[in-house]
Each structure stands twice: as C-alpha cells, then as structure tokens.
Amino acid sequence: MRNKNNAIEVNNIKKAYRQYDDKPHQIKDAIIRFNFRKNQKREIIKGITFEVEKGQALGLIGKNGCGKSTTLKMLTKIIVPDSGAIEINGRVSSLIELGAGFHPDMTGRENIYTNATIFGVKKSEVKKRIQDIIDFSEIEEFIDSPVRTYSSGMYMRLAFSIAINVDADILLIDEILAVGDLAFQEKCFNKLLQLKKQGVTIILVSHSLGQVERLCDRAIWIDNGSIKEDGNPYDVNAAYIKATNPQKETVVTSPMINMVQNGTFFDLENKTRFDPGANGHVKFISAEILNHSDNVFKMGENPLVKISYRIEKNVGTVAFRYTVFNKNNMKPIATAMSQPSVACEIGKQVSKIYIFNIGILSPGEYIVRMQLFRPDEFGFGTKFDVIEDGISFLVIASKDSFYHLGWHEDAWGNIYIGECPDVIVEDVYER
C-alpha cells in the first residue's frame, strides 16, 4: 500500500481473455488447437489505475462489455489480472451473484448458514447475525421452509440480506439493486447509504446513473478497457451521457426531426388502433401543431394543437385526454384532460384547439397517446377512440441551461418544475 488511507489500490492492471469459437472441452480439440490455431486473445482491460480511499463510494459506469464487471471481478479475486497489481486493505464482501450455492431443498435458515460461510464468515458470527438477516429479508414466517418453495422475490431478498449483513470493510456491488419490489429496493439502498455512513468503502457497478449519483462520491467511466473519465459523479455522468446519446445533446439537429418531415400535421384517421375497449363511436381524424413550423419545441414552450374528430354515433358528450410518454422507456409522464363537449350530430366533424402545457417537460423525445372518452357517473368511463402514437415531439434546451450540466433523465426524471426560488433569506450560524 502506498497510502495507508487507501482501501484499494489498483495499479495498471491488464487482462485479456482467450477468445474461442467454442471452448475445447475435449482433449481432441485441445490437440487440434495447439497445432493449428493460434490463441486469439482479446484485451478486455488495457491498463487501469486508480485508488479508492477508505470510506469512499465509487461508481463504475460504462457501456456493456467495456470491462467494468471484469474490473470488479478482479477486485474480488475471482479473476486474476495478467499484469499489474491490486492491493486491498480490509475485508471484502461482494454482492455480485446472489443466491449462488443455495440448496433448494434446504430451509432458508440452513441456507443462511451455508451461504454466509461461502462468503468466509465464521459460523459463530452467523449465529450472532442471523436475526438481523431474517428481519431484513422480511420472510420470517417462511424461514424454516425449503427455499424451493420461495417466490423468486423472496429468494432474492434472502440472498441479498445475507450478502449485505456480512461485516465488511469493502463492499463490491454489481448491478443487483433491482431486488424485490420498490419498497425493498429502497430499503436496500438505504442500507447501503447507512453502511457508507459507517465508513464502509463501496464500489458500485451500475447502469443506473441515478443510483451512482445518489450513492457515490466519485465515478469512473470505463470505456473500451481504459478509464475515460474520473471525477465527481455529476461531471462523469454528464460526459458519459453526452458521448453515448448524441441526440440528447441540446442542439437542434436531431434525427427525430427527420422522422416527421412535414412536422406539424399528423394523420390520425388511418393509424392502427390497438385498444379493443374503444368502441369507435367518435373517431380522431387528425392533429395539427399550429403556431410552429415543426414538432421541435424549446423548453418552456406550450404549443397549440388542433384536434379534429368525427362523431359516428350520438354519444351525448365527449372529452379529450392525452398522456405524454418518454420515448426511450415508454413510461407515462403526464396526463391532461379537457372539459366534455356536446357530441350529438352524427357525421359532424369537430375541430378543437387545445393548449398543450408541455413547457415543464425536460429535454428529450416524447410520444403522446390520445384518447376520446365520456366520463360517466360513478367514475365509469366509455372509451371512444385511443391512438397510442398520436403525435411525437422533441423538447430541446439551450446549451447553457441547467448550469451547463445537461439534463440527466435517469437521475432527474422528465419534468423540470422550474427554478427553485428562495423566499426568506436567513443565514444561521451554528456554534
């Protein structure tokens, strides 16, 4: 160790994997290979050097196959680097693969013992912590049933509880925080935050930049086997996002614009309808963005949209509703509804101009699901027409907004509530 305050020192490690078309599991293959084929080696890690201070939480980010998991595996000693040195100061626990070594026929309690000893914990130590483990996993009543009777969620919860309740100075985590339901995930995350507070050094490999920003003091972006960026998570994440998703850059030239050439007029009449619950008594004809030359809006803009529909049957009243979806993950973000209006004259074509209050949306690509319906009494509604991809649009921001940080969708969501105003200025000095 060069520095006593370091928990981990990694010095110029390199690793190459042999690349097989198919592994030689038979002696015959091996002989053939030695004679006729040179070993093709693929360099995965091309010289990585970093140090982690005690108590620091480090996030490793990067594309799939960039080498971050391999780096983590080398820290756990599962894989040995070809060259370079790794020094570790303290006891390591890894949350890489959960539930490895569980025996399905043995009870949860028995498996806690076996599994914890695999992590190198003494039996006497497990005895002391077993109640903590059971409490954390929230499966008290099933703990003496065989784990094969567990649901997959219970199985993972038990495995996670064992791994996280192992006393360790250094915790290595690979993309496993997606355990159980949301409440349990949050509990796990809070446990990690608590461990961090206690001074545990954490290394987290994650694709969720949000998690990295919440947990880590530092992030390293690994690209193609070497370190591309190293610094505070916000800067590193921003650089990473910029490099991987060029369309999210706050510049107007996006491929999205080419997708809808004419930009403002959307023919809805001939779109495919997917919702079998819509009875078609009122039908969309078109949607048109009015005060704009295309469907690219600056942040804060609230465009006017003209919606036209035709009344096929006398339905009494009709209301319009739209839901904005994030185009990347197709998650709904926000919904707006209109007042009902009369729809009695069969065959009549109605056009209404609505203000789309989408100015709060962050930069990104969106799709709008549109719906015509009638709100009935007692909370029941009748659906007339539903179009999943009614219109699509792009929201952009000027380059210097958000303090030059860019918008981090994974961490911040899709709505910019606005600048946070201070009302009372009061400086308090605590003694």
Partner 1 sequence: MKKLIEIINYRDMIDGLVRKDLRGRYKGSILGFIWNFINPLCQILVYFIIFSNVFKPDIEKFHIFLIAGIIPWNFFSEAVIQGTGCIIANADMTKKIYFPRAVLPIAAVTSRFINLLLSLTICIVIILLTGGRLGTSFIFELPIILLLEYFMALGFSLILSAINVYFRDVEYMTSVIMMIWIWMTPIMYSFEAVPEQLQKFVSLNPMTPVIIAYQCVLYQTSQLYLEMLIYPIVFDVILVLIGFAIFEKLSVHFSEEL
Applying CB under 8 A, the residues found at the interface with partner 1 are 17-18, 23-27, 30, 73, 76-80, 92, 94, 96-97, 100-101, 103, 105-106, 110, 113-114, 117-123
Closest to partner 1 by CB, 173 or 209: 173
Query: Could you tell me where the DSSP H helices lie in 44-151?
Result: 68-75, 108-118, 123-137
* Strand order across the beta sheet in which 304-311 lies: 265-267, 282-289, 304-311, 349-355
Distance CA 105, CA 115 (A): 14
E strands along 262-363, which residues? 265-267, 282-289, 296-298, 304-311, 316-326, 332-337, 341-343, 349-355
**Six-digit token string for 275:** 């919702």
> Min. distance of Cβ 104 from partner 1 in angstroms?
9
Torsion of CA 179, 181, 182, 184, to 10 degrees: -70
Helix (H) or strand (E) holding 293: none
Distance CA 74, CA 49 (A): 13
Closest to partner 1 by CB, 114 or 286: 114
> Min. distance of Cβ 38 from partner 1 in angstroms?
18
> Min. distance of Cβ 24 from partner 1 in angstroms?
8
Distance CA 209, CA 241 (A): 9
Closest to partner 1 by CB, 19 or 262: 19
Distance from chain centroid for Cα 17:
29
> Min. distance of Cβ 388 from partner 1 in angstroms?
41
> Min. distance of Cβ 11 from partner 1 in angstroms?
19
Closest to partner 1 by CB, 73 or 369: 73
Distance CA 236, CA 239 (A): 5
Nearest to 374 by CA among 324, 426, 309, 302: 309
Closest to partner 1 by CB, 43 or 110: 110
> Taken in order 163, 169, 174, 175, is the CA torsion positive or negative?
positive
> Min. distance of Cβ 136 from partner 1 in angstroms?
20
> Min. distance of Cβ 327 from partner 1 in angstroms?
36
Distance CA 121, CA 380 (A): 58
Angle, CA 127 vertex, CA 149 and CA 192 arms, to 5°: 75
Closest to partner 1 by CB, 31 or 415: 31
Helix (H) or strand (E) holding 150: none
Distance CA 335, CA 321 (A): 7
Q: Contact 315/384 with Cβ under 8 angstroms? A: yes
Closest to partner 1 by CB, 20 or 274: 20
> Min. distance of Cβ 150 from partner 1 in angstroms?
16
Closest to partner 1 by CB, 121 or 216: 121
> Min. distance of Cβ 114 from partner 1 in angstroms?
4
Closest to partner 1 by CB, 105 or 181: 105
